[in-house]
Chains A and B, each alone.
Chain A
Amino acid sequence: MLARWYDFRDLGNGVARMAQALRDAGAPDGVVYALTALAGCLGILIFVGLTAIVNIWVERRLIGRMQVRRGPNRLGPWGLLQPVADAIKLIQKEVLTPRAADGTVFALAPILIFVPAMLAFAVLPWGEKMVLADLNVGVLYLLALGSTSAIMVFMAGYASNNKYALLGAMRVIAMLISYEIPSVLALLGVVVFAGTMQLSGIVQFQDFYWSWLIFFQPLAFLIFLLASTAELNRSPADIAEAESEIVAGYHIEYSGMKFGLFYAVELVNSMSVSAVIAALFLGGWWTFGLEEFVPGWMIFIGKLYAVYFLLIWFRGTLPRFRIDQLMALAWKGLLPLGLANVLLSALEVLIWQEYDVSAGIVLPIFAVVNFVLAGVLLVAFMRVMTRSFERLPKRARLVPDISVPLPGEPATA
């Protein structure tokens, strides 16, 4: 029995009712499928479009609070209309194309970059039955989408025929390829543990065992979070845009709404990554029984924003890595950590399956072991990463009086 279409606990109901009605009217399966998919797509597009606009405000406002200022507060109540004004401004601006730019590629890049950003939302489990495309290789699909955006960024940087843009584009390529691997390894640990690549399946795993995967995969969570900030070009890994160095990186030559698209894609991507983290590590729509009282999609969006807040917090606090340090972090740090995590997860799953122990006994032990190991590995990793920088004291030496080497004497520090 289907719920009423206005039952807001599951927004998929409307589409399901629509399919039912179409089938009753005798429409062929193809038409039903196409129309319902279209309705779902529209719903997600509207949601993403709206939240992207709201997120501009959220981000600017929160960053403002972190920076002891107010943030936008002039337009509308609490400055809520600021993103609208920004959008109007961007639409009004002239879209310039540099004379030496490769016109077609230059124009295509901001449009194409939107495609993978939006596609990622198709497989997200918004609620218990609210998945547009419940792919059984959902995790793989997300990872594949994540790597395609490198092409568009490189298109933008290369076609601009600008040295800063080229530098930014080269940085993006190096970074995205490097960070693909740790994020794959991190999600591999999750997949090994949950035994499925289907996002809804992973959420159901967490529901079934009454626990979030972050408790079993703390290391994978951290690796994926760090790798995602790098893939998103967000601080502390925003070296591709690096405002203080290469000004705006690959989108330096873009103006008007073309720039606006890049800006929006950044927000949309941040949101999809937050959603993936919320689904894979934080239980998606499932929250220890809370989903009985609150609609699952509300819980999911709440978690999404919690992760998003974390990303904003990073941006408000941390300085930027240098590109070689970021590469070192990926190859020397996150890659071995990710491999260790996969090994550990595989071992645990093996023990669990082989000896047929009950989950109630073995899962708490795994959680404790994984947390302790993650802590130890992270501390060791931090030591290794900053070892060479810690040899000198981190405070200035205080001298009571002047002492200057005389001419001819060797100067000593």
Chain B
Amino acid sequence: MSIKTEPMVVNIGPQHPSTHGVFRMRVTLDGERITDAEMVVGYLHRSMEKLAEERTWTQNIPFTDRMDYLAAMTGNLSYCLAVEKLAGIDVPERGQYLRVLFAELQRIASHAMANGTFVNDCGAWQTPLFYMFREREKILDLFEMVCGARLTLNYIRIGGVAFDLPDEFMPQLQALVDELPDRMDEYDSLLLDNEILLMRSRDVGIVSPELAMNASLTGPMLRGSGIAWDIRKADPYCVYDRMDFDIPVGHQGDCYDRFLVRMAEIRQSLRIIKQAMAQLPPGPFAAQVPLSLRPPAGEIYSRIESPKGELGFYLVSDGGPTPFRWHVRSPSLINLSALREMMVGQTVADAIVTLGSIDINVGEVDR
């Protein structure tokens, strides 16, 4: 007698604790093993790119907050850099340093969140997440101090930044910078040397360097595969060419490598923050920008290294007060494109870990 068997199709998401928002994976299972996977995006689509065509250049900055809401500062920065390039605006030096400072703080906050949720996906009962939240919270306090908002910051504006630093900012930042290396050592010993975490994420979700380049992966996904690529060095913006930092790269492109890269990047960001703090010049923090900005007709593509990868803006201006086309190259969406190759052949548990290691933000995937 033969037993009739059929593959089991399971919807992971859109409502699932580990899909980091409303992302859906339709996986076909043979027992616990994944034989096929399909990604379904679009549950958080807010039509930002179309809406942006009806709003002025300045009014569009809040949209960039709400794309990657865990890294609003870099979203602001990327868009403002693109508009400044298009309109030919020069940002004063202090503004540029402040941008670097806050972008790196945002990178730490975003990576802390990514690492925390990654270990959570590995099944650690939320403890690392809360530890990471503690550090992230201090950074959000700094953001709140300088611009009043914690998540959707709208701090970096066209021509510079919105506000100068308040007096109490620097001592608190200094305290954070002094404290963080010890914390990072603690996390290294808790997480990086943890055998279970190693067993769960080593050799899981391997992205070969070829696949990483062919799929146009960027950020920690690409660096985890061993390719030293960082837009802060390859195509420096703001004052990153004056900063001294290393690019952490992984060994074979598995989930553990991506985790290592993020952990190491937090330390590198800290180095950049220290340099920016030391070099921060006095002077104006923003250039004078006309209220109704009308960049000359033309198109521009500008990119930065956001915590998740290459965040680029392709803007087309017809000389009017609103963009003619407002397109985002969002790292989350493009990093997702390799997910199927990474997942097929693994178990369900691995799939969750793999997705967690990509560090997507559905707000940015769907826009």
Contacts and interface: CB of A to CB of B under 8 A. Distances in A.
Given A322-B350, A389-B203, A244 B123 contact: yes
A320 B123 contact: yes
B228 A392 contact: no
Contacts, number: 169
Interface string A245-288: 11100000000000000000000000000000000000000000
Nearest to B264: A396
B123 A405 contact: no
Interface in B134-180: 134
Contacts of A16: none
Given A315-B125, A389-B198, A411-B209, A395 B119 contact: no
B227 A319 contact: no
Size range of the chain A interface in the assembly: 35 or more
A29 interface: no
B251 interface: yes
> How many interface residues does chain B have, given as a range?
35 or more
A56 to B, nearest CB: 15
A402 B250 contact: no
Interface string A298-334: 0000000000000000011111111111000000000
A382 interface: yes
B32 A323 contact: yes
A242 interface: yes
Nearest to B195: A386
Given A242-B123, A244-B17, A396 B257 contact: yes
B358 to A, nearest CB: 15
A317 B247 contact: no
A394 B192 contact: yes
A210 B17 CA distance: 51
A394 B227 CA distance: 17
A398 B247 CA distance: 6
A393 interface: yes
Interface string A374-413: 0000000010011011101111111111111100000111
B130 interface: yes
A245 to B, nearest CB: 5
Contact of B247 (A319, A401, A405): A401
B349 A66 contact: no
Contacts of A405: 209, 213, 227
Contact of B251 (A244, A390, A403, A413): A413
Interface in A77-119: none
Contacts of A163: 8, 10
Contacts of A325: 199-200
B263 interface: yes
A225 to B, nearest CB: 15
B247 to A, nearest CB: 5
Nearest to B134: A68
A400 to B, nearest CB: 6
B252 A392 contact: yes
A353 interface: no
Contacts of A324: 347
Contacts of A323: 32, 347, 349
Interface stretch (B56-64, B68-76, B229-237): B229-237
Contacts of A322: 199-200, 347, 349-350
Nearest to B230: A402
B248 interface: yes
A156 to B, nearest CB: 18
Contacts of B192: 394-395
Contact of A320 (B200, B203, B234, B250): B200
B125 A235 contact: yes
A411 B10 contact: no
B125 A63 contact: yes
B310 interface: no
A384 to B, nearest CB: 12
Contact of A67 (B131, B195, B226): B131
Contacts of B195: 382, 385-386, 389
A44 interface: no
Given A323-B32, A392-B252, A398-B247, A236 B198 contact: no
B263 to A, nearest CB: 7
A165 to B, nearest CB: 11
Interface in B345-362: 347-350, 352
Given A167-B348, A411-B227, A319 B194 contact: yes
A319 B122 contact: yes
A109 B251 CA distance: 48
Contact of A394 (B29, B198, B246, B247): B198
B202 A392 contact: yes
Given A66-B127, A67-B131, A402 B251 contact: no
20 contacts: A68-B134, A69-B130, A242-B349, A316-B127, A318-B194, A319-B194, A320-B196, A321-B200, A322-B200, A323-B347, A392-B202, A395-B264, A396-B250, A397-B248, A402-B228, A402-B234, A402-B247, A404-B229, A404-B234, A412-B226
Interface of A: 63, 66-69, 163-164, 166-167, 170-171, 235-236, 238-239, 242-247, 315-325, 382, 385-386, 388-390, 392-405, 411-413
What 3 pairs between A and B have smallest CB-CB spacing?
A: A320-B123, A413-B226, A411-B209
